[in-house]
């Protein structure tokens, strides 16, 4: 019974996710669903990303998902980009219905890349499509190199894995090679990009990936 109910929920969600794609398609907006556990550094990464993309003339919009508070969206407002806050209450993820409602407050014709910062959680966000072109997950070196094996769906559903806080590697027992090997066992097509939002190391590779995906979207 539980499996049937979950399947029905996911099927209904997928229908709305397709509607979101239809909303974004006329303006060829690249939608990226950012996922991670709490504290991995999604908001800091978005700060660095928005700053650099704006300097390159890329127009960015953000949907910010949190269980409570507007702290993360408040941090991003200094960049003067359109932001819509979603507070889920007790829900541990964003779903397509929430995302579609948020889009009514965004002018898609003025956005090139839409970043959706999902609720910090390594389980539920991976199950729910929100009309994104790519799911991107952020794994910090303070979490452990075994996470791909413990939370396989998150890594299987993602197009890219960003390994953040590599400046802290000397102070952890995180094994970079094992983390990459574990992730690629789950998803051999996964793009893996180590980086540090603190030092800036690896950010160019991430930004180049985003801009390449945007260029590909514009060609379609």
Query: Residue ranges per domain, the chain?
Result: 2-219
Instruction: Give the Cα separation of 91 and 171 in Å (integer).
Output: 34
Write down the residue that tokens 């499996």 correspond to.
Answer: 3
**Residue 175 above 90 pLDDT?**
yes
Percent of the chain with pLDDT over 90: 94
Tell me what pLDDT residue 97 has.
96
The yes-or-no verdict on residue 7 having pLDDT over 90 is no
Specify the DSSP element, H or E, that contains 208.
helix 203-219
Least Cα distance to 40 among 117, 108, 97, 109 occurs for 117
**Measured distance CA(46)–CA(153) in Å, rounded:** 23
CATH number belonging to domain 2-219: 3.40.50.300
Task: Return d(Cα 165, Cα 181) in angstroms, integer.
Answer: 19
pLDDT tens across 56-78, in order? 999 999 999 999 999 999 999 99
93-121 pLDDT per residue, tens: 999 999 999 999 999 999 999 999 999 99
Residue 4: pLDDT band by 50, 70, 90 thresholds?
A: low
Indicate the pTM of the whole model: 0.95
Question: Of 79, 206, 53, which Cα lies nearest the Cα of 134?
Answer: 206
User: Would you say residue 42 has pLDDT above 70?
Assistant: yes
- Across the strands, what pairs with 86? 65
Q: What is the mean pLDDT of residues 167-191?
A: 97
Q: In which band, very low, low, confident or very high, does the pLDDT at 6 lie, cut at 50, 70 and 90?
A: low
| Secondary structure E strands in 90-133 | 113-117
pLDDT at residue number 5: 57
């Amino acid at each position: 019974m539980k499996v049937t109910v979950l399947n029905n929920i996911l099927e209904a969600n997928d229908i709305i996710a397709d509607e979101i794609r239809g909303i974004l398609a006329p303006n060829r907006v690249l939608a990226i669903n950012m996922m991670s556990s709490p504290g991995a550094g999604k908001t800091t990464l978005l700060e660095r990303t928005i700053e650099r993309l704006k300097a390159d003339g890329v127009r960015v919009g953000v949907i910010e998902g949190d269980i409570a508070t507007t702290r993360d969206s408040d941090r991003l407002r200094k960049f003067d980009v359109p932001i819509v806050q979603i507070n889920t209450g007790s829900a541990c993820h964003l779903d397509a219905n929430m995302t579609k409602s948020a889009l009514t407050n965004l002018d898609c014709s003025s956005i090139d890349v839409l970043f959706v910062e999902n609720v910090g959680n390594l389980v539920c966000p991976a199950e729910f499509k929100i009309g994104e072109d790519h799911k991107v997950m952020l794994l910090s070196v303070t979490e452990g190199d075994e996470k791909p094996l413990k939370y396989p769906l998150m890594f299987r559903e993602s197009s890219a894995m960003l390994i953040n806080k590599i400046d802290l590697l000397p102070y952890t027992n995180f094994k970079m090679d094992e983390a990459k090997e574990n992730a690629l066992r789950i998803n051999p097509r996964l793009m893996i990009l180590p980086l540090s939002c603190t030092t800036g190391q690896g950010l160019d590779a991430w930004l180049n990936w985003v801009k390449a995906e945007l260029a590909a979207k514009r060609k379609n």
